[in-house]
């Protein structure tokens, strides 16, 4: 399969306000697998941008797709696309290890699932700007004693992720404030987004805004249910798709070189041609070869 088409759970709204939902996605080629396995970038969000800008061929009527467009995609749409790239490149099945979250246990737990079973929730309203009212208690009171309840916001996108994810490790509270400052576009008549606006929001107001954002956003549900074979307790844990996929790429690069060697050896194709193939295509040729070799052996 050279590419496949899907519908984004959120969608891309262009500068003219048109919503684009159909996307064309290609698997990684061997060359891209190699490039990504060896690439050093700051933060997983930047790596997701790199992957998607290479594999997403079209968004609605917009083609080619560049990094700026990929950064403009909503967080859930990026996750969804990464799922599809992984599925097209390595197949639907995922076998991974997680650790039992109970501090007195911590045993390794094998999980096994199909990407097709991951629940995807489409967003009902497409934005790009959403409005909501804060509750009476959460309203902001200005210098004149006037109450402001109306909040305008947009949903977090790839650029926000790239800005916020390096902060997340050191200072989670600061990262969340930064994110809110970027996404809250105005409260009442105050239309200057940024830190100052966020500082005016009470914890209750922040919570109400975050809840509403979650309610209107599309979602890829990566919370996995599992049962620990050691202690027998059931738990749910977020599955880190990015970590898993990038780890998988690093591990499979050795195999990639072996496959390239095998195909070059038997078919006398050049490295460059083979590296342009997707894994699925390499595997298909390897299967044909295996059948052929078996047939020859049986004929002797």
Residues 6+ apart with CB under 8 A from 100: 106, 107, 108, 109, 228, 230, 231, 233, 235
The residue among 231 and 288 lying less far from Zn ion, judged by its C-beta, is 231
Does the footprint of Zn ion cover residue 231 (CB under 5 A)? yes
Does the footprint of Zn ion cover residue 98 (CB under 5 A)? no
Does the footprint of Zn ion cover residue 227 (CB under 5 A)? no
Quote the least distance from Cβ 234 to Zn ion, whole Å.
Answer: 10
Using CB atoms within 10 A of its CB, is residue 63 exposed (0-12), middle (13-18) or buried (19+)? exposed
Quote the least distance from Cβ 104 to Zn ion, whole Å.
Answer: 8
Site mask, Zn ion, residues 161-180, x = CB under 5 A? --------------------
Total interface residues for Zn ion by CB under 5 A? 6
The residue among 37 and 105 lying less far from Zn ion, judged by its C-beta, is 105
Quote the least distance from Cβ 223 to Zn ion, whole Å.
Answer: 18
Does the footprint of Zn ion cover residue 226 (CB under 5 A)? no
Instruction: Please say whether the beta carbons of 231 and 210 come within 8 A.
Output: no
The residue among 207 and 231 lying less far from Zn ion, judged by its C-beta, is 231
Does the footprint of Zn ion cover residue 263 (CB under 5 A)? no
DSSP string for 92-106: SEEEEEEE---TTT-
Distance CA 92, CA 8 (A): 18
The residue among 194 and 229 lying less far from Zn ion, judged by its C-beta, is 229
* End-to-end CA gap in the chain: 35
Does the footprint of Zn ion cover residue 132 (CB under 5 A)? no
Please name which of 217, 198, 65, 205 lies closest in space to residue 155, comparing C-alpha atoms: 217
Contacts with Zn ion by CB under 5 A lie at: 100, 105, 107, 228, 230-231
């Amino acid at each position: 399969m050279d590419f496949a088409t899907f519908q984004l759970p959120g969608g891309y709204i262009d500068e003219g306000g048109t919503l684009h939902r159909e996307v064309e996605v290609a698997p990684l080629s061997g060359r891209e697998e190699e490039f990504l396995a060896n690439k050093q970038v700051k933060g997983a969000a930047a790596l997701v941008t790199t992957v998607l800008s290479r594999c997403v061929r079209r968004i609605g009527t917009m083609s080619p797709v560049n990094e700026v467009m990929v950064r403009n995609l909503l967080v859930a749409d990026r996750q969804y696309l990464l799922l599809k790239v992984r599925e097209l490149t390595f197949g639907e099945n995922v076998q991974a290890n997680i650790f039992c979250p109970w501090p007195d246990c911590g045993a390794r737990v094998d999980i096994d699932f199909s990407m097709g079973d991951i629940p995807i929730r489409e967003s009902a309203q497409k934005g790009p700007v959403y409005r909501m009212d804060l509750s009476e208690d959460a309203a902001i009171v200005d210098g004149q004693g006037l109450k402001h309840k109306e909040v305008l916001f947009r949903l977090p996108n790839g650029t926000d992720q790239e800005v916020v994810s390096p902060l997340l490790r050191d200072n989670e509270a600061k990262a969340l404030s930064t994110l809110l400052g970027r996404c809250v576009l105005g409260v009442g008549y105050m239309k200057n987004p940024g830190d100052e606006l966020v500082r005016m929001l009470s914890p209750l107001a922040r919570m109400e805004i975050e809840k509403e954002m979650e309610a209107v956003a599309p979602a890829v549900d990566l919370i996995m249910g599992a049962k620990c074979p050691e202690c027998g307790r059931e738990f749910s844990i977020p599955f880190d798709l990015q970590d898993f996929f990038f780890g998988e790429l690093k591990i499979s690069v050795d195999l990639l070189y072996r496959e390239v060697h095998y195909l070059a050896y038997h078919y006398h194709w050049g490295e460059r041609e083979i590296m342009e193939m997707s894994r699925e295509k390499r595997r298909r040729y390897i299967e044909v070869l295996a059948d052929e070799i078996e047939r020859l052996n049986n004929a002797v």
